[in-house]
Structure 1
Amino acid sequence: MKKLLLTGFEPFLDYSLNPTAEIAKRLDGEIIGSWKVAGAVLPVAFSNTWEQCLLQIEKEKPDAVMLLGLAAGRDKITPERVAINCADGDKDNDGIVKQDELIENEGPAAFFSTLPIRKFVNALEKDGIPAGISNTAGTYLCNYLMYRVCHHFESADQKVPAGFIHIPASEELALELGHVPGMPQEKLADAVRKMIGCLD
């Protein structure tokens, strides 16, 4: 059986919860198709987000990596096409702010996702779940992590499919914020299960 490393993030900025953390915890240990899921929740901190992810990669030795992040304000599931070599944006949970910084000084300008993102979108839409490919993962921790993971596997010459998927707010978070669309938490989890099934 193949192993999938599925990561979510802890709450950050003004969000009291993060639906990606709940998905990673809920799916941990599940068997979906030919995949066994190893779920992990990562810190929102430039100082150790990648280090914690790398520990999980070394521990689990996954056959694929699916990184999840919250994009409150989006109204659909959005697999990311590309991560760029730039860290910028709001302060992280340690209060650190990055501005116009290279993630890897000698790294390429960008990495494309090696997950089957079009297949993901087609499968989700077929089930009536709003989805679409996104061409920007931003420049915050989501982009940072995707870039680091892709750089790691390329540098190690390991053909491990990896990429990032942004999800909307859960209904609970949307109600709390009051101005963003939301999906039921279980529907978000089911959407991730559907995408994992597409890896077969």
Structure 2
Amino acid sequence: MTVLLTGYEPFGDDDENPTQTLAEELDGETVGDHEIVGRVLPVEYAVAADEMATLVTDYDPEVIVSTGLAAGRSAISVERVGINVNDHGGVADNAGAEPRDEPIDVDDADAYLSTLPVVSVVESLLGAGIPARVSNTAGTHLCNNILYSTRSLVEREELEIPVGFVHVPLTPAMAAEKASEGEATAGGAVKASLPLELQKRAVELTFETTLDG
């Protein structure tokens, strides 16, 4: 039995993405009696959902948790909803696409709720000493896209697979690098961060809480 974890490749102004590292390092690990299949998706509107659909067919996972970087957020953010909108918000995807106020699927629902036990997951993370919160917006970039598209796929195929999305902060090293490019030495702000090991534990607890539910 497997659970599927996806991260994203680097994009925008970031040369690395902690969710890529999470997917690669957790690939082959286990939660309970389930093996984690960790895969990295491209930051491209045109192909990310299709790659996810292939992964679902190939691995038939019991749970799907996708992850993405939200630089500037101070905690693990467990997303509640994906909306039927693609909007680049000033950051093109890695193929140069810049959709503006476009539906993901003109014939589909306006939104899909995560089917993870969102509140229970956040409570589990907080109980483990990991900063976490319920988030009511996954944005309109690829993170929202994959949450919406995967929920749509599961609904369309009538699959009983819990699906959700988790945003993670910068790692401390990434926050320090960004601060070194700004005005930190003159009293400027430093973006919030969370060590990769805590991010990794947050992903494991997300799976564990979902499987226990």
Q: Normalization by structure 1: what TM-score?
A: 0.97
Task: Tell me if the contact between 2:154 and 2:161 (Cα under 8 Å) persists in the aligned partners.
Answer: yes
How far apart, in 2, do the equivalents of 1:99 and 1:114 lie? 27
Task: Please state whether the residue corresponding to 2:85 is helix, strand or coil.
Answer: coil
Deviation at 1:186, TM superposition (A): 1.3
2:9: which partner in 1? 10
1:139: which partner in 2? 140
1:155 alignment partner AA: R
1:33: which partner in 2? 32
Deviation at 1:73, TM superposition (A): 0.3
2:163: which partner in 1? 162
1:193 alignment partner AA: E
1:58: which partner in 2? 57
2:76 alignment partner AA: I
How far apart, in 1, do the equivalents of 2:103 and 2:202 lie? 33
Alignment of 1:1-200 (within 5 A): 2-89=1-88, 90-178=91-179, 179-199=190-210, 200=212
Task: Please state whether the residue corresponding to 1:120 is helix, strand or coil.
Answer: helix
How far apart, in 2, do the equivalents of 1:15 and 1:94 lie? 15
Deviation at 1:33, TM superposition (A): 1.2
Identity of aligned residues (%): 38
Higher mean alpha-carbon deviation, 124-133 vs 178-187, is at: 178-187
Deviation at 1:7, TM superposition (A): 0.1
Task: Tell me if the contact between 2:79 and 2:138 (Cα under 8 Å) persists in the aligned partners.
Answer: yes
Higher mean alpha-carbon deviation, 47-56 vs 148-157, is at: 47-56
Task: Please state whether the residue corresponding to 1:182 is helix, strand or coil.
Answer: coil
Task: Please state whether the residue corresponding to 1:17 is helix, strand or coil.
Answer: coil
Task: Please state whether the residue corresponding to 2:68 is helix, strand or coil.
Answer: strand
2:146 alignment partner AA: L
Structure 2 unaligned runs (5+)? 180-189
Any runs of at least 4 consecutive aligned residues in structure 1 with deviations exceeding 2 A, and if so which? none
How far apart, in 1, do the equivalents of 2:79 and 2:33 lie? 24
